[in-house]
Amino acid sequence: MCLRVYLFTSIMNRAYFFPFLLLFLALLLSLAIGSVFISPRELWNVLFGNGSETATSILWKIRLPRTVLIALTGAALGGSGATYQGLFRNPLADPFLIGIASGAGLGAVIAMSIEWPYSFWGLMAIPMAAFLAALLTVFIVYTLARVGQTIPTTNLILAGVAFSSFATSLTSFLMIRSTSEVRRALGWLLGGATQNNWTAILAMLPYLLVGLGILIFSGHALNLLQFGDDQAQQLGLNVSRAKRILLIASSLTTASAVAFSGIIGFVGLIVPHLIRLWFGPDYRRLLPLSVLGGATALLISDILARILIAPQEIPVGIITALAGAPFFLWVLRRSKNQGFW
Amino acid sequence: MLKIQSLSVSYGSRQILHQVSLDVASGEILALIGPNGAGKSTLIRAASGVIHYAGHVRTNGYDFAALSPIQRAKYIATVPQAVALPPAFTVWETVILGRTPYLGFLGQVSEKDEETARQSLERVNALHLAERRVGELSGGEQQRVLLARALCQSTPILLLDEPTAHLDLQYQVSLLELVTDLAHRDNLAVLIALHDLNLAAHYADRIALMVAGSIKAMGKPKEVLRPELIAEAYCLPVQVIPHPFLDVPLVLPEAKG
């Protein structure tokens, strides 16, 4: 009952209206736009089982799984990005920049090169391998970057970049050594072309639901952590346990995104920042909004990836990096004077 | 009441606190004074449960070492030393964090929590600041907000770690007036680390003088603020004269020739 009331009041909160509306429009556009345009009217028909055969087939077999996968990936990146930023109390902690995405990618590739997942259980093992690698990455980067109780921005980025290049080169090495069939299949990791089928969605969903489910309700704990470990503990938070849970949940979430959508940078950086600028730093609102915003932002990037040089497609990671790198530099400049963080 | 019994703290091989024991009764203010590095902050942090210690911190039979952070936060609230607060948080978002030990399973805030937060802000005359961001506040206002957050925890014990550091005189006085009122009217047990000996003499019911991790003297201001004790603790000759019209001592450093 408490959960229902909470969800209800959260969703009915006016702050959520526009983000939900935007997400809905992005979902609609993503279903409509592609090599064949499907009008909203036709969408409606297909949904209720009386659309044309081509439209039905395109929608169920291609557009819908792709849209769902992109939306879930974006949601995962937005949610885990917001969490890492709060956890490290650092505006530049993004799953991509601090190397967690690359680490997870390496884990996924190792799982794939051992046995390419023709079977369902093989497929389920990929996100698990990505998750374990992501956890290991967090641990390594955190240990490398830490000075006493704090993690200076430069250290975090340096450790992240260094580990990220290491993981990426290992990944490339594994891909070069693998058979040509696997190599083609692994192309996803660098290109960001998504594996769009329902099985992939099914394999990622349990990890994502558990991870995001924990994160969405961690707003209060993250608020406490913004005041430093001492104050958080004095106010009643079991700091080490909370941090452990948050690290595991956000790594689970990142891993589920990377395992099937490849390494997509900057969504986890940009989205929480924009939300923070518009709605303030309260993580109880920031987290759910970053999840919604992440899904919307990645859907829009994916639509652009499809239409910019149609009929050819651009990997969605290129779009997010094109928008994200300048934004990263802007945040870096801005975080020097700590104005809104 | 707060009961600290033979409390010792070490960082590595260096022992910071040596067997410190003290009691603070409900309705009483005990001020911790002593030179920098004497262990005042360490004592406050240990009592608040954020660093490991040997010995006991108790209230009414509970040993705090056995309690979880959430349970502990229902008995002890701490106002930290002037710190950098996350500037974009509003005063309201900051103060409501004091309700952490009472929140529901998913961290949702009840109407009662909001009412307590409102009352706490009113108590420190900061209700009008509720919508402001903490980064925009003056040092004195920030300390009042942190005090409101501690009150929001509804605890019988209040710890303050040099809350008047870096404040102008009028803010030091108004904050300490407020703390005195909280102890004497709301019956809180207050342990407060203070820099200024004369403010301690004025506002504290009892004073504990700490030097090098131990308590050198404890008692009424007149009993502790004696020239020979203070001179030895601070390595500085001092004069102690009676206040012209209050029954408290005044400590003055002896002017050099």
Domain membership flag for residue A71: yes
> Bridge-partner residues for B190, per DSSP?
B29, B158
Domain membership flag for residue A182: yes
Question: Of A21-35, A94-108, A172-186, which range is least confident?
Answer: A172-186
The domain of A279 spans: 64-331
Kindly state the average pLDDT of the residues A139-144. Answer: 86
Residue at token pair 């002890």: B76
Kindly state the average pLDDT of the residues A10-20. Answer: 72
For a pLDDT cut of 70, what percent of chain B falls above it?
A: 99
| Contact residues, chain B, for A6 at CB < 8 Å | 106, 108
B107:A217 CB<8 A:
yes
Question: Of A246-250, A332-336, B217-221, which range is least confident?
Answer: A332-336
Tell me whether B132 touches chain A (CB under 8 Å). no
DSSP secondary structure code for residue A150 in this structure: B
Question: B241 φ, ψ to 5°?
Answer: -120, 155
Tokens coding B85? 């607060």
A226:B106 CB<8 A:
no
Please list, in sequence order, all residues whose beta carbon lies within 8 angstroms of the beta carbon of residue A100, skipping any fewer than 6 positions away. Answer: A84, A134, A137, A138, A141, A160, A251, A254
B106:A2 CB<8 A:
yes
Residue in B93, B105, B133 to test binding to A, most A beta-carbons within 10 Å: B93
Kindly state the average pLDDT of the residues B135-157. Answer: 94
Q: What integer pLDDT is reported at residue A247 of this predicted model?
A: 87
| Contact residues, chain A, for B94 at CB < 8 Å | 227
State yes or no: pLDDT of A24 exceeds 60.
Answer: yes
B159-183: per-residue pLDDT in tens? Answer: 999 999 888 898 899 999 999 999 9
Q: How far is A296 from chain B (nearest CA, A)?
A: 25
Sign of CA dihedral B25, B26, B28, B31: positive
B93:A223 CB<8 A:
yes
B100:A224 CB<8 A:
yes
State yes or no: pLDDT of B47 exceeds 70.
Answer: yes
Name every residue in A having a CB less than 8 A away from some CB of B.
2-3, 5-6, 217-221, 223-224, 226-231, 233-239, 276, 280-282, 284, 338-341
Q: Is the ipTM of this complex over 0.85?
A: yes
| Contact residues, chain A, for B70 at CB < 8 Å | 236-238
Element (H, E) at A311: none
Q: What integer pLDDT is reported at residue A4 of this predicted model?
A: 47
Chain A nearest-CA residue for B103 = A220
A252-271: per-residue pLDDT in tens? Answer: 999 888 887 888 888 998 89
Domain membership flag for residue A22: no
Helix axes A283-307, A17-32, angle to 10 degrees: 20
| Contact residues, chain B, for A236 at CB < 8 Å | 69-70, 72-74, 100-101, 153
pLDDT level of residue A294 (50, 70, 90 thresholds): very high
Domain membership flag for residue A88: yes
pLDDT level of residue A11 (50, 70, 90 thresholds): very low
Question: Of B95-99, B100-104, B156-160, B201-205, which range is least confident?
Answer: B100-104
CATH number for A95: 1.10.3470.10
**Average pLDDT, rounded, for chain B:** 92
State yes or no: pLDDT of B62 exceeds 60.
Answer: yes
Give the number of domains in chain A.
1
Kindly state the average pLDDT of the residues A279-297. Answer: 93
Position A78: which residue type?
Answer: G
- Residue pair B73/B63 in contact (Cβ under 8 Å)? The answer is no
Q: What integer pLDDT is reported at residue A2 of this predicted model?
A: 47
B86:A235 CB<8 A:
no
Question: Of A52-66, B113-127, B217-231, which range is least confident?
Answer: A52-66
Q: What integer pLDDT is reported at residue A15 of this predicted model?
A: 75
Q: What integer pLDDT is reported at residue A17 of this predicted model?
A: 86
State yes or no: pLDDT of B29 exceeds 50.
Answer: yes
Question: Of A305-314, B45-54, B231-240, which range is least confident?
Answer: A305-314
Indicate the residue of B73, B83, B104 with minimum beta-carbon distance to A236. Answer: B73
A144-168: per-residue pLDDT in tens? Answer: 888 776 667 678 788 888 998 999 8
- B residues 6-45 near A, CB within 8 Å? 45
Kindly state the average pLDDT of the residues B198-215. Answer: 95
A223:B48 CB<8 A:
no
Domain boundaries, chain B: 1-70+156-257, 76-154
A238:B68 CB<8 A:
yes
Kindly state the average pLDDT of the residues B126-148. Answer: 93
Decide: helix, strand or coil at residue B16.
Answer: strand
State yes or no: pLDDT of B79 exceeds 90.
Answer: yes
Q: How far is CA B202 from the centre of its chain?
A: 16
pLDDT level of residue A63 (50, 70, 90 thresholds): confident
State yes or no: pLDDT of A227 exceeds 70.
Answer: yes
Decide: helix, strand or coil at residue A177.
Answer: helix
**Cβ atoms < 10 Å from Cβ of A22:** 17
Q: What integer pLDDT is reported at residue A186 of this predicted model?
A: 61
Kindly state the average pLDDT of the residues A112-116. Answer: 68
Helix axes B139-152, B169-186, angle to 10 degrees: 10
pLDDT level of residue A244 (50, 70, 90 thresholds): confident
Tell me whether B74 touches chain A (CB under 8 Å). yes
d(CA B98, CA B154): 9
Indicate the residue of A217, A218, A341 with minimum beta-carbon distance to B88. Answer: A341
CATH number of this structure's domain B1-70+156-257: 3.40.50.300
Q: What integer pLDDT is reported at residue A116 of this predicted model?
A: 56
Tell me whether B245 touches chain A (CB under 8 Å). no
Question: Of A40-44, A48-52, B187-191, which range is least confident?
Answer: A48-52
Q: What integer pLDDT is reported at residue A120 of this predicted model?
A: 65
Domain membership flag for residue A40: no
| Contact residues, chain B, for A235 at CB < 8 Å | 73, 97-98, 100-101, 149, 153
Q: What integer pLDDT is reported at residue A154 of this predicted model?
A: 76
d(CA A218, CA A283): 8
Domain membership flag for residue A53: no
Residue in B41, B42, B44, B50 to test binding to A, most A beta-carbons within 10 Å: B50
A230:B45 CB<8 A:
yes
Kindly state the average pLDDT of the residues A275-284. Answer: 89
Kindly state the average pLDDT of the residues A179-193. Answer: 57
Residue in A235, A277, A338, A341 to test binding to B, most B beta-carbons within 10 Å: A235
Q: What integer pLDDT is reported at residue A1 of this predicted model?
A: 37
Residue in A227, A285, A335 to test binding to B, most B beta-carbons within 10 Å: A227
B77:A276 CB<8 A:
no
A234:B68 CB<8 A:
no
